Chain A
């Protein structure tokens, strides 16, 4: 299972040959089966690159109803590398802090809350001096339940308001509009992004209420989306997206420091300000899946568009889940079409190895649209060292993929996930605002 190394002689992504509907308009959706190596599992407790030990996560959760704390302090934020958890909330905020000092207060408060919520403990008693200091949603003692808090900053934070114009990460721009995007400005961008992920919905909701309560004056929510990561079905495989396909089979090896340094963590120099060390570019794309339409498509066409078997997740040219497709043996796309999603997303060539991204998608499901169809899809998130070299390169390759007819990207943004909080005296973005 050495998929991190692309085949030496991978097939190049030629202009795709037409299939039924493939002639329809081109577009986007880097969300479905991108880059290299790693068995994706639910529950952060497992190292990437290893299949899920069957049943262990489920048994642990069933017995205790909670997951252990994820250490908060570190060189990088703790929520970036772990596998997707059961539940997530992604919330965009605008800073309303009045000036640099209040922004610093906001970042310190956010850090204090994240530290407490991810560590767990007893909320302080208030006596007769105030309403209860905690919502009580998790009971009298706050359990960590694997909570991670990932904080990013958007390009708009670096306008004139906070004197940070010369601190902007070099590659941080407003999100590019790709062909066939259907972006709603009200669900795009933001000065700050906060992603809360944990073992259960109540854990995530509790954390969001707590953070909002402590930061009301400093930031205001712009948009929010909640997501979930399904259990691997069958056990030992990879969680599925709402198209019914396993999603996140191939990813860079998060256990390899060299690979993470080469693909994920930002290195100062080359125009990047020094404070960015240890951070990572954080792309969020909200992608509606037109599931009714999709469900009316034959299985052969579905599998052809993705390039994998729906039931097993196997590449169409292989007999195991984590096998690397051999595009060199299939230069004309007889087995895996040249425009299949997995082939465009990750052609597995030496030339495309540096465009790989760390994908951390979640499913979303939030009601119905104007014609009564289900509003569900993917919260595509990915981390990378360089948005242009990585996400945008992958996304550009996907512009003409056939899958585009079944998806509609409507929101999201480009953010920079701040360096980790090093210790008790540190806070999110300290080097950015100092």
Chain B
């Protein structure tokens, strides 16, 4: 039982072991309820958004030690209930120290600086790309397209980080009624489609200039864009979830056959976020080395498809064995990355 007066009353005869605690919110407000180690605030279990008058279950594996509930009601100061002791010498699950918004401010700044630097490079590259198209040198445009696209893909844009800018700069034709011929199809993939499907410089000048201007727009808007602290952790697996869904399937190949290069850029973006979060992860995620093991394996497998002349193997041309090795490595990497979003979700203490 939790309410705004007591936090965790009614836990009779606590026992060690795997168990499910049923928590009832008798308050008039909802909130988050944690079971913590009162010594340091490390969390054993959590119920998020417990509504007033409702019950939720919390599955925990408790060993011998001290426990307390912490109640975080809306509009009320955090409150910790009385300490509950479980006697004996039973080993339970290891609690995790919560990450706070404060903890994430530094990482957010670092990520912003990373993106800001990347956007400056991107502006130059998309300018060069637009210039090549305008000059009618489509060979140069095709050569300029890939580095520019990879710069963008390294930024870790996924699931709306850059709002509408992402649709304009890197949107795909799916979801547009006219497909690749839809006037709303813009950005890198629009240019890729044209550059690798024999469209003329005249036809592509508009889209190339538009891309450059959209990048400039993002560059000027970015400093004022709000970056959700929750997103930093989420992106550590979402960038590669996108790579698996759209790049390794070949869905986002509009003609250049470079989705493996995009995947490599996505790995770089993921590693940047991991590096930023590293100090928070080391004390909280014992399996962190496995993340790097699998990302490195994935990176090597992708690099092996980058030919000496700079060309990339299109995913459709991969042998079954190579393809399965890559799919296995990204699948395992994603499994290992998934806990990071849960661990780095900003929590109130």
Binding site for B on A (CB under 8 A): 94, 96, 98, 122, 124-131, 140, 213, 216-220
Are B18 and A127 in touch, CB under 8 angstroms? no
CB-CB nearest 10 A-B residue pairs:
A217-B332, A216-B331, A96-B328, A130-B339, A125-B59, A220-B324, A216-B332, A128-B43, A129-B96, A220-B328
> Contacts A216-B331, A216-B332, A217-B294: A128 and B324 contacting too (C-beta < 8 A)?
no
| Cβ–Cβ < 8 Å partners of A217 in chain B | 294, 328-329, 331-332, 335
Chain B CB within 10 A, most for which of A130, A131, A218: A130
Are B332 and A127 in touch, CB under 8 angstroms? no
A interface footprint on B196-226 (CB within 8 Å = 1, 0 otherwise): 0000000000000000000000000000000
Are B98 and A128 in touch, CB under 8 angstroms? yes
Closest to B97 in A: A128
| Cβ–Cβ < 8 Å partners of B347 in chain A | 128
Chain B, range 119-148, C-beta contacts under 8 Å to A: none
Candidates B18, B328, B345; contact of A124 at CB < 8 Å: B18
Closest to A121 in B: B18
A interface footprint on B316-343 (CB within 8 Å = 1, 0 otherwise): 0000110011011101101100110111
How many residues of B sit at the interface, in one of the four size bands? 35 or more
B60 within 8 A of A: yes
- B84 CB, min distance to chain A CBs, angstroms: 17
How many angstroms from the CA of A122 to the CA of B59 in the assembled complex? 9
Are A128 and B328 in touch, CB under 8 angstroms? no
Are A94 and B60 in touch, CB under 8 angstroms? no
How many angstroms from the CA of A140 to the CA of B327 in the assembled complex? 30
How many angstroms from the CA of A124 to the CA of B59 in the assembled complex? 8
Closest to A185 in B: B320
How many angstroms from the CA of A128 to the CA of B59 in the assembled complex? 11
B95 within 8 A of A: yes
Are A131 and B45 in touch, CB under 8 angstroms? no
- A186 CB, min distance to chain B CBs, angstroms: 9
> Contacts A96-B325, A122-B18: A128 and B331 contacting too (C-beta < 8 A)?
no
How many angstroms from the CA of A193 to the CA of B43 in the assembled complex? 41
Candidates A124, A129, A220; contact of B342 at CB < 8 Å: A129
Are A127 and B328 in touch, CB under 8 angstroms? no
Pull 7 A–B residue pairs with CB atoms less than 8 Å apart, ordered by A. Answer: A122-B18, A125-B18, A126-B342, A128-B43, A129-B339, A131-B338, A140-B59
Closest to B324 in A: A220
Are A127 and B45 in touch, CB under 8 angstroms? yes
B46 within 8 A of A: yes
Chain B, range 57-95, C-beta contacts under 8 Å to A: 57, 59-61, 93, 95
How many angstroms from the CA of A98 to the CA of B328 in the assembled complex? 11
B254 within 8 A of A: no
Are A218 and B342 in touch, CB under 8 angstroms? no
| Cβ–Cβ < 8 Å partners of B297 in chain A | 98
B44 within 8 A of A: yes
Are A125 and B45 in touch, CB under 8 angstroms? yes
New A-B contacts (5) at CB < 8 Å, excluding given A125-B18, A127-B95, A128-B43: A96-B324, A126-B342, A130-B343, A218-B328, A220-B327
How many angstroms from the CA of A216 to the CA of B60 in the assembled complex? 27
Closest to A122 in B: B18
How many angstroms from the CA of A205 to the CA of B338 in the assembled complex? 22
Are B46 and A128 in touch, CB under 8 angstroms? yes
| Cβ–Cβ < 8 Å partners of A126 in chain B | 339, 342
How many angstroms from the CA of A213 to the CA of B96 in the assembled complex? 23
Closest to A98 in B: B297
- B344 CB, min distance to chain A CBs, angstroms: 10
> Contacts A125-B61, A128-B342: A213 and B335 contacting too (C-beta < 8 A)?
yes
Are B338 and A130 in touch, CB under 8 angstroms? yes
| Cβ–Cβ < 8 Å partners of B327 in chain A | 96, 220
Are A216 and B96 in touch, CB under 8 angstroms? no
| Cβ–Cβ < 8 Å partners of B329 in chain A | 96, 217
Closest to A141 in B: B20
- B2 CB, min distance to chain A CBs, angstroms: 18
| Cβ–Cβ < 8 Å partners of A131 in chain B | 338-339, 341-342
| Cβ–Cβ < 8 Å partners of B345 in chain A | 128
- B249 CB, min distance to chain A CBs, angstroms: 14
> Contacts A96-B324, A122-B18: A127 and B335 contacting too (C-beta < 8 A)?
no
| Cβ–Cβ < 8 Å partners of A128 in chain B | 43, 45-46, 96, 98, 342-343, 345, 347
How many angstroms from the CA of A213 to the CA of B60 in the assembled complex? 22
Closest to A125 in B: B59
Closest to B330 in A: A216
- A266 CB, min distance to chain B CBs, angstroms: 29
How many angstroms from the CA of A216 to the CA of B334 in the assembled complex? 9
Chain B CB within 10 A, most for which of A98, A128, A220: A128
Are A127 and B44 in touch, CB under 8 angstroms? yes
Are A219 and B328 in touch, CB under 8 angstroms? yes
- A280 CB, min distance to chain B CBs, angstroms: 27
Closest to B45 in A: A127
Are B338 and A129 in touch, CB under 8 angstroms? no
Are A125 and B324 in touch, CB under 8 angstroms? no
Are B59 and A129 in touch, CB under 8 angstroms? no
How many angstroms from the CA of A131 to the CA of B335 in the assembled complex? 10
Are B93 and A94 in touch, CB under 8 angstroms? no
Closest to A94 in B: B324
| Cβ–Cβ < 8 Å partners of A129 in chain B | 96, 284-285, 339, 342-343
| Cβ–Cβ < 8 Å partners of B284 in chain A | 129
| Cβ–Cβ < 8 Å partners of A130 in chain B | 338-339, 342-343
Are A125 and B328 in touch, CB under 8 angstroms? no
| Cβ–Cβ < 8 Å partners of B95 in chain A | 127
How many angstroms from the CA of A94 to the CA of B322 in the assembled complex? 12
Chain A CB within 10 A, most for which of B46, B335, B341: B335
Closest to B57 in A: A140
- A82 CB, min distance to chain B CBs, angstroms: 30
Candidates B93, B98, B321, B341; contact of A125 at CB < 8 Å: B93
| Cβ–Cβ < 8 Å partners of A125 in chain B | 18, 45, 59-61, 93
Closest to A216 in B: B331
- B254 CB, min distance to chain A CBs, angstroms: 26
- B29 CB, min distance to chain A CBs, angstroms: 22
How many angstroms from the CA of A216 to the CA of B325 in the assembled complex? 10
Are A124 and B61 in touch, CB under 8 angstroms? yes
Closest to B44 in A: A127
> Contacts A122-B18, A217-B332: A127 and B93 contacting too (C-beta < 8 A)?
yes
- A390 CB, min distance to chain B CBs, angstroms: 31
- B158 CB, min distance to chain A CBs, angstroms: 17
